[in-house]
Amino acid sequence: MTPVLKTVHLVKIYSDGAVPVPAVRGVDLQVEPGEFVAVMGPSGSGKSTLVHMLGGLDSRTSGEIWLDGQRVDTLSESAWALLRRKKIGFVFQFFNLVGNMTVADNVELPALLAGASPKEARERRESLLGALNLTERADAAPGQLSGGEQQRVALARALANQPSVLLADEPTGNLDSRNTRDVLKLLSNVHKEGQTIVMVTHDARVAGLADRLVSLFDGEIVDDGRIARKRTRTAGAVIDLR
Amino acid sequence: MSTMRAGGRWIRADLRARKGQAALTVLAVAGIVAALIAAVTLLEDGTNPWRGLFAQTNGAHVWFYTKDSPTVAVGAIDGVTHVAGPYRSAPVTVAQDGKKEPTSLRAMPSAPAGVARPVVAEGRWLDPSQADGVVVERSFASALRVKVGAPFTVIALSGERHTLYVRGIADSAEQGFFPEWTPGLAWVLPGTLDRIEPMLGRSEWVTGLRLTDADAAQIVSQRVVVMLDDQLQRVYTWREVRAAMELDNRLLGTLLALFGVVGLVAAALALANAAGGRVLGQLRDLATLKSMGFTRGQVALLLLTEHGSLGLLGVLLGAVAGWAATVAVLGASLVAPMPVLTIVASTALVVLAAVGVPAWRGGRTPPIPAAPAVPPRGHLSRLARLALLVRLPPALILGTRDAFTRRVPAFLTVFGLAVPMMMITIGLGVWATLDNFLSHPEQVGQHAALHVRAGKLEPAQAERLVRRDPGVLAVYPGAEVNALAPGEARSIRVRALGGSASGAYPFPVVEGRLYGQPGEAVAGQGLFDLLGAKIGDRVRLTVGGSPLIVRIVGRTVEPDLDGEVLSVGLDSLAAKDAVPPEFYALALRPGADPAEVRARLLAASGEGLDVQRVVNPADRLTIIRVVIVALIVLLSLIGLANLLTACALGLRDHAFDLAVLKAMGLTPRQVMATLVTGSGLLVVLGVAVGTAVGVSVVTGLIDLQGHTSGVGAGIGRPPSPLTLTLAVLAAVGAALAVAIIPARRAARAQVPIATR
């Protein structure tokens, strides 16, 4: 089976300032379809840089990135943008909803961008918001929503085009524990439906939800292993967070 | 298609979220465009009234005078659509308030003519029931100071006096305005003219031809010359009439162009600032769009569409409003479409260009949405370190730091203030130049304040009289003749004044030297351009059949006749043209009032002398002063609007810092001082740069403009240091007053330390 995402000796060096700062130093990572990978590490370990590079938001210094069996690190900024429409969904720490647009418009935007007709986009939005329990907030502005609700909208937006991989950068970093639980529950549900997820977090309890934990330190992978967990039929339905 | 839909949603949402700001942008652009259109059209109409009059009167393009009623079919000439007349016209003299003016009395029927009909401005047209009625051309009527109902005494060639009554005052595009175009024009019924001047041999016949193509006037007039041969007295076309009606057209043309450019720059600045500010405020949203899959080009296009359509909507509204305003003032047929279309097209282009830059910058936003929008460079600027070194209060240091941490907005603020300030300085320079014309007329060739013609007196007697007056410093006998230049169809003016060697008139020579002996001459820039001559050249002219060969030894500042004037000493002219002198130019003693001297001379000569004040070119350019004031107001408003945008942006950037500063213990007053120092430094810099650039280019610009208008370089004056200081102080003061408004609000507001 071809991996959804593969990196080969991926390196990122920031050279804006006087001294070049290496953020990612030779990461080899392979993500299989349907996997839920958590990337952990302390502040400044390069986790956000890594996930930004995986989505083409930041350019790599050297190394390769493969997405769905296609080499993508050589793509131009515009080609990356076109690729992101169909294959990559992003969830950010600060939600990054377009403040002027209603919840419904925020969720429909990626679908419209990918070429769906307004009718299709509306149907998809209705089913997504329905699944996330946000149907009645469709006409609200993002500013009127709580943090958890905003992140759920962001998740709906990221999933609007059924991307090959969902990239989440500290999705719970700005939420209280109750909202964290809600969002994680949703992520877990999405994962059960077969969605590939790469999530960056510095919270061990959040990372515990994933199938696989990759630890990053000073831009290098120091540990990569499956989380041994008793998998029951109801796994993910009850998440015990204390 | 898909991006259009997605982009459309985004634009709609963004516009909905900031209705007020969008409306303000549209209104600002609309205001500038409307002002431009109204100003250009009204000014054009004011300075070039011919086009309006021609349209109103359904005028004729070619006019010719014959001894008898023309016998050939001039209406059959190719391109002629209508023939006006022939009307009989008799030379008479009008005696009004002791003045006598030669007048051409024209016979016209009471029924309005189809072509070239005088349009009654006051009173009524001629009526057969009132045989003693006369209608007077408007400029002639105002020169004679006659009103409707006033008696109008004409003296026929036979010497017989007839008293008519003014029934109406009418406009005509048939000839130029009185007194530039003489004789004056008045219309009577044919029967009345027969009574006043029964001798057909003493009158001439006037015929007008209306053409399908105005450009064919020259060819048609040549055909007329050939067909009528020795019957023809003279012929002229609409071009001569228009030229006679025009007021310093080239000077005003360049002024209009300057006004237009300023308006365009202002519109561009206002839009670029509004769009740029909005883009800066939206960087996070733009990054989000990119993370969703918008490409760089699509984001740029999105922004260009949104802000560009606002600008274009403003242009459209402004065009409609400006058009409506001018139509309301002038009437629909009188608004020239060309300038309006030019303005619309150029503002539309400028709008797109002005919006293009911020759109392009928005397109280059990095797609990482977490990228902070706070100042990226936190270290102290050199200026701030200096402030620290001299132990300024903390608010000043912080403000100094804030001013330059974000270089692009700082540059935009400085630029947005420097451009209006530069334009204001140039406007003040034009003002100073006009003032200089008035206070030092001798520097523009008007050393003499009065021109005296002998009138009823003997020339020698007149000269004795003027030399005796205590207010007169010097008397220069002079004459003005027309000369034909080789290879030129039209004649040029030769002004002979004073002696060549001794008693030479002090012309303001700016290049070369003044003539020192007979046979030498000085000329204005317009003449050099016309003849393609340069200083040191010898030119051969013909004055009334006799040759005049002079060497041009200098260039003068020449405000008259587009500078196409050759000045010589009186002794350079042949005696037949120079003796007796046609007039005496009087230079007055400093402090002598020309009006007083004129009154004294008139009294001493028993109204025998004809004394005229020299018209200062600045008096004719009063309209420029109105334009300058309007310009300065518009520019000040734009500069302040730019500053407000910049302040709002700065506040957005600093909202977080302000909370921290307050937490650190700065009082609201200190916070305000910090903010005002930040914008104040930029204001001072912008105003200083603008003033400096304006002062350095103003003299050159005016001289360049003087050169093209024939007056010649050497008239430009920079504004006085006092005016400049006042302008700078006023600009900085107004800017600081504006900057204080948002600063005060920010200092008082409770700024929570919130998450971004």
Give per-residue pLDDT as tens, B167-200.
888 888 888 777 667 788 888 888 888 888 887 7
Q: Report the Cα B512 to chain-centroid distance in Å.
A: 31
Which of B96-105, B184-193, B278-287 has the largest mean confidence?
B184-193
Q: What's the rounded Cα separation, in Å, for the pair B706 and A47?
A: 69
Question: What pLDDT band is residue B745 in, cutting at 50, 70 and 90?
Answer: confident
CB A153 within 8 A of CB A136: no
CB contact under 8 A, B370 and A92: yes
Pairing of strands A196-201, A36-40: parallel
Q: Taking chain A (242 residues) in consecutive chunks of 10 residues, what is each chunk's mean pLDDT?
A: 87 83 88 90 86 87 90 86 86 82 86 84 87 84 84 86 88 83 85 89 84 88 74 51 57
Q: Which strands form A220-226's sheet, in the order they lie side by side?
A: A88-91, A165-169, A196-201, A36-40, A212-217, A220-226
Distance from CA of B300 to the nearest CA of A (A): 12
Best to test chain B binding among A91, A97, A101 (most B CBs inside 10 Å) = A101
Do A57 and B367 count as a contact with CB atoms less than 8 A apart? yes
Residues A99, B755: C-beta atoms closer than 8 Å: no
In the structure, what pLDDT confidence band is assigned to residue B313 with cuts at 50, 70 and 90? very high
Query: Which residue of B lies nearest to A115 if distances are taken between CA atoms?
Result: B2
Residues near A42 by Cβ (< 8 Å), separated by ≥ 6? A202, A217
Neighbouring residues of B535: CB distance < 8 A, sequence distance ≥ 6: B511, B512, B552, B553, B554, B555
For residues A77 and B296, the answer to whether their CB atoms sit within 8 Å is yes
Q: Searching chain B, which residue's CA lies closest to the CA of residue A87?
A: B293
pLDDT digits (tens, 9 = 90+) for B686-734: 889 988 888 888 777 777 766 666 666 666 777 888 888 888 888 888 8
Cα distance between residue B256 and residue B594, in whole Å: 33
CB contact under 8 Å between A174 and B755, yes or no, is: yes
Cβ pair A96:B9 closer than 8 A: no
Residue of chain A nearest B290, judged by CA positions = A81
Beta carbons of A157 and B292 less than 8 Å apart:
yes
Per-residue pLDDT of B18-49, as tens digits, reads 787 788 778 878 877 887 787 777 766 666 67
Residue B377 — pLDDT band, cuts 50, 70, 90? very low
Structure tokens at A135: 């149907």
State the Cα torsion B31-B37-B38-B41 to the nearest 10°.
170
Task: For chain B, give the percent of residues with pLDDT over 90.
Answer: 1
Whether cis (ω within 30° of 0) applies to the bond prior to B86 is yes
- Give the closest of B6, B294, B369 to A96, CB-based: B369
B745: closest CA of chain A, how far (Å): 23
ipTM above 0.85, yes or no: no
- At B580, list the tokens: 């007796």
- H helices of B213-336, in order, are 217-228, 238-245, 249-281, 283-292, 296-330
pLDDT at B753: 43
Mutate to test the interface with B, among A57, A76, A117 (most CBs of B within 10 A): A57
Q: Tell whether the model's pLDDT for residue B351 goes beyond 80.
A: yes
Q: Which residues of B touch A (CB under 8 A)?
A: 1-3, 5-6, 9-10, 13-14, 16-18, 284-285, 287-298, 366-370, 755-756
Chain B nearest CA to A101, separation (Å): 5
Mean pLDDT score, B82-101: 80
pLDDT digits (tens, 9 = 90+) for B545-583: 677 788 888 888 777 666 778 888 777 777 777 777 777
Q: Is B592 helix (H, G, I), strand (E, B) or coil?
A: coil
What does B49-84 look like in DSSP terms, one character per residue? THHHHHHHHT--SEEEEESS---S-GGGSTTEEEEE
Contacts of A77 in chain B (CB under 8 A): 295-296, 367
| Residue contact A84–B292, C-beta within 8 A | yes
**Interchain proximity A115–B2, CB inside 8 Å:** yes
Q: Which of A77, A92, A101 lies at the smallest CB-CB distance from B10?
A: A101
Strand, helix or coil for residue A180: helix
Does the pLDDT at position B372 exceed 60? no
Query: Collapsing DSSP states into helix, strand and coil, what is residue B547?
Result: strand
pLDDT class for B643, splitting at 50, 70, 90?
A: confident
Which residues in chain A have Cβ-Cβ distances shorter than 8 Å to B13? Answer: 98, 100-102, 105
Query: What's the rounded mean pLDDT across residues B196-205?
Result: 81
Q: What is the pLDDT of residue B373?
A: 44
Residue A112: list chain B partners with CB under 8 A: 2, 5-6, 9
Domains of chain A: 5-226 (3.40.50.300)
pTM for the model stands at: 0.61
* CB within 8 Å of B421: residues ≥ 6 apart: B635, B639, B686, B687, B689, B690, B691, B694, B731
| Inter-chain touch B10–A98, beta carbons under 8 Å | yes
Listed in sequence order, the residues at least 6 apart from B628 whose beta carbon sits closer than 8 Å to its beta carbon are B427, B428, B430, B431
Chain B partners of A157 at a C-beta cutoff of 8 Å?
292
Of A55, A98, A114, the CB nearest to B288: A98
User: In this model, does residue B309 exceed pLDDT 50?
Assistant: yes
**pLDDT band at B528; cut points 50, 70, 90:** confident
Eight-class DSSP state of B589: P
The predicted pLDDT at position B421 comes to 87
The pLDDT of residue B317 is 92
Give the residue on A whose Cα is nearest the Cα of B289. Answer: A98
Over range B622-651, report the average pLDDT: 75
Q: Name chain A contacts of B281, Cβ cutoff 8 Å.
A: none
CA angle, B403 then B406 then B409, to 5°: 85
Whether pLDDT at B273 is above 50: yes
Residues of A in Cβ contact (< 8 Å) with B292:
84-85, 90, 109-110, 113, 157
A115 interaction partners in chain B (CB closer than 8 Å): 1-2
- Over range B412-431, report the average pLDDT: 83
Residue A71, H or E segment: strand A70-71
CA B618 to the chain's CA centroid: 12
Domain ranges of chain B: 1-48+246-373, 62-243, 378-441+617-756, 447-615
Task: Tell me which of A91, A95, A96, A153 to substitute to probe the interface with B (most B C-beta atoms closer than 10 Å).
Answer: A96
Name the least confident of A193-197, B157-161, B467-471, B683-687.
B467-471
Task: Tokens for B84, please give them.
Answer: 């006006």
Q: Name the residue facing B13 among A52, A105, A112 (closest C-beta).
A: A105
pLDDT tens track for B382-393: 666 666 666 666
